[in-house]
With several copies, the nearest count.
Chain A
Amino acid sequence: MLASARPQPDDSVFSLLDDDGRVVPGGRAPALSDADALRLFRGLLQVRLVDERMMRLQRQGRLGFYMLSMGEEATHFAVHALRPTDWVFPSYREPGAAFHRGYSLKDFVNQLFGNAEDPAKGRQMPVHHSARWLNLVSISSPVGTQIPQAVGMAWAARISKRDDVAVTYFGEGTSSTGEFHVGMNFAGVYKAPVIFICRNNGWAISTGKERQTASQGFAVKAQAYGFPGVRVDGNDLLAILAVMEDAVARARAGEGPTLIEAVTYRRGGHSSSDDPNVYRDPNEPKEWERRDPIERWKKYLVGRGLYSEAVEQQYRKEIGEEIAAALAHAEQVGPPAVETLFHDVFAEIPPHLEEQKEYLLSLPRPTNPHGGH
């Protein structure tokens, strides 16, 4: 007599492009200008190239830490459906979302180096960007904390009678946190204009997705909060854009939140500190290579007659040069000035911090006491 659990939503994942980049029969593709289609291609490429370069740099000991998103790049460009006045709360694995909103490679690399030109003043580890001028909210390491914050912001927009929406990204592992629940639940209750993008890349460090939940996928979780959830092929940029357009329209129209589960795969390690071969079958990532989101988008461009080898080479060259220039610059910029250690704790430096600052400034600048990094 137990009203047993309703059948879980089936495993089906919404997609628009097949593996060869063709729009599936009957697929209603969103409108996308040629320029935008190419811009997105360039964006995808940029993330890939930046990742490759930074991982190399890290291996060479020139960069402390890095997190790459190989294979997940398409998810970053969900933000294409937003207006500049909308807000994005990223996690650490969507640099493309920042680039697409206008975050420069120079700022990006300065942040990685935590140098004096880092827009966030060298305060955070690499890949924790912050760009107030782009409505990109400061990234935090503790996972999930941004979820209720995004809801609060969306709700603030609504009670301020503006139609801004907020988007937040997180991994499938993060759906296990209390903050996920609390944020999703507030969003449902307030019908806040917020979109939750759960990048289901299969892994949370060494922990597989089936260890995060016994539910069939993550989109189903929206049912607990009374709003729609949708599973989308996270390697299919066109499908992502379509789903996002709907979700944004719903949010802007006051119809409330949407949970988007983007099914993808973390082909690399969790971070530059991680060796995934210790805990997973090295063949697993290979299977996902043929579903590469960039290759798929390229084929889509081919289908639209927009692709040419020359254009790609041009992009690669430009990006490569930009990266090189940004690196060359960043490496010669020094660290932030010592006194900045005490700035921004409060709006004004209170007396006890002023005293600590003076004490520190009175000392000789330390040599690195903990061994070189």
Chain B
Amino acid sequence: MPVCNIIQAVNDALRIEMRRDPRVVVLGEDVGKFGGVFRATNGLFDEFGPDRVFDTPLAEAGIIGAAIGMALYGLRPVPEIQFADFIYPAFDQIVNELAKFRYRSGGQYTAPVVIRTPYGGGIRGGHYHSQSPEAYFVHTPGLKVVVPSNPYDAKGLLLSAMRGEDPVIFMEPKRVYRAARGEVPEGDYTVPLGSAKVVRQGAQVTVLCYGAMVHTVLEAADRVAGEGFDPEIVDLRTLLPLDTEAVLASVKKTGRAVIVHEAPKTCGYGAELSALIAEKALLHLEAPIARVTGFDTPFPYSLENEYLPSPERVAKAIRDTATF
């Protein structure tokens, strides 16, 4: 089992699926010969040629609109949006079209498009290369939303997403694109959508997180473990559909919950997690549910380390919640 990083894992998944399924095509800005600004599509143009890997004009609405049309025809497009911050010109195509095609046509038409996009802060990218827009998509019925935190999951989840029949927003944690390394089996395997993973067993407080934040939370857990705390960490992996059972099981066990994400707090995904718990596990709670999130400001440049949830902030929330 070779060790690789998330970019390599994504690249590997794309290659495996393109070899297996001739309907899979890759499109986006600079994804062709260049292989993408993060090099996630590196080598695909050479192997599969210009009919399956294409550079597009600079227009996200065109990328997604065209991908929808291709999917309606029977292809399996995997468009890349260069940064999640630039997905909004395609918002109408995603929210009003992609998400609703199956529903509005009474099941006649489906558009299984998998949109890959790097998201999140920590790369000194300021407001426009750092955003975490997952909540917009989770709130849109008809879309699945997947956020891997490590190479193993990235590969397995992307393969599942490409083989599914539904549109998927596949958000890649760019801060740990290269830093998160791990063993990844060669060849084919899948990680099912909708299943969370307990990445640290613990008895005292449940920490719910996903994507790059999993690493921040693990770091925080190391610190507080040294102080005698015992957090359980759940990597959600898929935000929609959520593995509600896993979440509730952990919270019912620990009676305490801390939720961590980078996106702004208000109406972020953490709000949904908290509401879910308040609906279904309220009587198990022994402390208020804490959210450690980005602040309700645009993503800043110079102060990004202050903005992003840090291991210190997460550690504090774990301590406060555990000792409430």
* Residue interface mask B303-316, A partner, CB < 8 A = 1: 10111101111001
Q: Are A119 and B106 in contact (CB under 8 A)?
A: yes
Contact of A177 among B59, B72, B125 (CB under 8 A): B59
Q: Are A178 and B164 in contact (CB under 8 A)?
A: no
Residue B154 at the A interface, CB < 8 A? no
Q: Are B89 and A178 in contact (CB under 8 A)?
A: yes
Q: Are B52 and A118 in contact (CB under 8 A)?
A: no
Contact of B56 among A149, A186, A370 (CB under 8 A): A186
Q: Are A369 and B141 in contact (CB under 8 A)?
A: no
Residue of A nearest to B27 (CB): A152
* Bound: A339/B301 CA distance, A: 14
Q: Are A121 and B106 in contact (CB under 8 A)?
A: yes
Q: Are B37 and A115 in contact (CB under 8 A)?
A: no
From 83 to 109 in chain B, residues with beta carbon under 8 angstroms from any chain A beta carbon are 85-86, 88-89, 92-93, 96-97, 101-109
Residue A96 at the B interface, CB < 8 A? no
Q: Are B73 and A157 in contact (CB under 8 A)?
A: yes
Contact of A344 among B77, B107, B295 (CB under 8 A): B107
Chain B residue numbers with a CB within 8 Å of A342 are 295, 297
Chain B residue numbers with a CB within 8 Å of A213 are 57
Among listed A201-209, A232-240, A299-307, interface-contacting one: A201-209
Chain A residue numbers with a CB within 8 Å of B216 are 369
Q: Are A155 and B66 in contact (CB under 8 A)?
A: yes
Residue A141 at the B interface, CB < 8 A? yes
Q: Are A143 and B105 in contact (CB under 8 A)?
A: no
Residue of B nearest to A166 (CB): B69
Chain B residue numbers with a CB within 8 Å of A157 are 73
Chain A residue numbers with a CB within 8 Å of B128 are 125, 140-142
Contact of A189 among B57, B92, B300 (CB under 8 A): B57
Q: Are B106 and A120 in contact (CB under 8 A)?
A: yes
Q: Are B302 and A132 in contact (CB under 8 A)?
A: no
Chain B residue numbers with a CB within 8 Å of A160 are 73-75
Chain A residue numbers with a CB within 8 Å of B37 are 205, 273-274
* Residue interface mask B17-35, A partner, CB < 8 A = 1: 0000000010001101111
Q: Give the interface residue-count category, chain B.
A: 35 or more
Chain B residue numbers with a CB within 8 Å of A122 are 106, 300-303
Residue B43 at the A interface, CB < 8 A? no
Residue A150 at the B interface, CB < 8 A? yes
Contact of A338 among B29, B89, B306 (CB under 8 A): B306
Having A125-B128, A373-B123, one finds 17 other A-B pairs with CB under 8 Å, namely A120-B104, A137-B109, A141-B126, A141-B129, A142-B92, A145-B65, A149-B72, A152-B67, A155-B69, A156-B73, A179-B65, A186-B57, A205-B34, A206-B32, A344-B102, A347-B102, A370-B175
Residue A174 at the B interface, CB < 8 A? yes
Residue of B nearest to A157 (CB): B73
Chain B residue numbers with a CB within 8 Å of A346 are 102, 142, 144, 165-166
From 108 to 129 in chain B, residues with beta carbon under 8 angstroms from any chain A beta carbon are 108-110, 122-129
Q: Are A356 and B295 in contact (CB under 8 A)?
A: yes
A-B contact pairs, 24 of them (CB 8 A): A122-B106, A122-B301, A125-B126, A125-B129, A141-B128, A145-B65, A154-B69, A155-B66, A156-B69, A160-B73, A178-B89, A182-B62, A185-B57, A213-B57, A273-B37, A336-B302, A344-B102, A346-B144, A350-B240, A352-B244, A363-B312, A364-B312, A366-B313, A370-B308
